[in-house]
């Protein structure tokens, strides 16, 4: 389950460098669209739906209310968890999308290869930074 994901924990000074390597595909963030989102500790990602922009004080700067899909480890398919987990996320952490979901749940995602490829780069970079921290 996603936890707080404030970008100022580990990466602030190197995040621009990281984004250049990752070549995020996110150009616009649209309500009701799906994006893949990085989590740094431990490195993982979720696919999440944008519910709307948010102006609460829990996250600094531009951020969105997001609801995440769980991924079945065996089938690799995505579905809604039983509980509605909604959280605030900085757009900084979205790295691919809008994504194309197929099916009525569980879903497959057309861009899953792109997501996995970028996630592997992200994980490697995070592990390197943690080793040198
Ligand atoms: Zn918020």
- 89-132 per-position pLDDT tens digit: 988 889 999 999 999 889 999 999 999 999 999 898 888 877 87
Q: What pTM value is reported for the model?
A: 0.83
Q: Residue 1 has what pLDDT?
A: 45
- How do the domains of the chain map onto residue ranges? 28-131
Q: Report long-range pairs for 46-54 (Cβ below 8 Å, ≥24 apart).
A: 46/2, 46/71, 47/71, 47/78, 47/99, 47/109, 47/115, 48/89, 51/86, 54/88
- Cα–ligand 1 centroid distance for 53 (angstroms): 8
Distance CA 98, CA 49 (A): 9
- The token pair at 84 is 């509605």
Residues at Cβ < 5 Å from ligand 1 ion: 54, 56, 88
Q: Residue 13 has what pLDDT?
A: 53
Higher per-residue pLDDT: 24 or 95: 95
- Cα–ligand 1 centroid distance for 132 (angstroms): 32
Neighbours of 42 (CB within 10 A): 9
- Cα–ligand 1 centroid distance for 131 (angstroms): 31
């Amino acid at each position: 389950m996603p936890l707080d994901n404030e970008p100022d924990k580990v990466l602030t000074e190197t995040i621009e460098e990281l984004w250049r390597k990752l070549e995020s595909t996110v150009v616009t963030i649209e309500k009701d669209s799906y994006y893949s989102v990085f989590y740094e500790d431990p490195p993982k990602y979720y696919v999440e739906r944008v519910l709307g922009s948010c102006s609460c004080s829990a996250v600094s700067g531009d951020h969105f209310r997001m609801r995440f899909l769980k991924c079945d480890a065996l089938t690799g398919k995505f579905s809604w968890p039983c509980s509605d987990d909604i959280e605030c996320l900085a757009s900084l952490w979205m790295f691919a999308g809008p994504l194309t979901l197929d099916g009525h749940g569980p879903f497959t995602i057309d861009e899953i290869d792109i997501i996995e490829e970028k996630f592997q780069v992200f994980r490697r970079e995070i592990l390197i930074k943690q080793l040198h921290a």
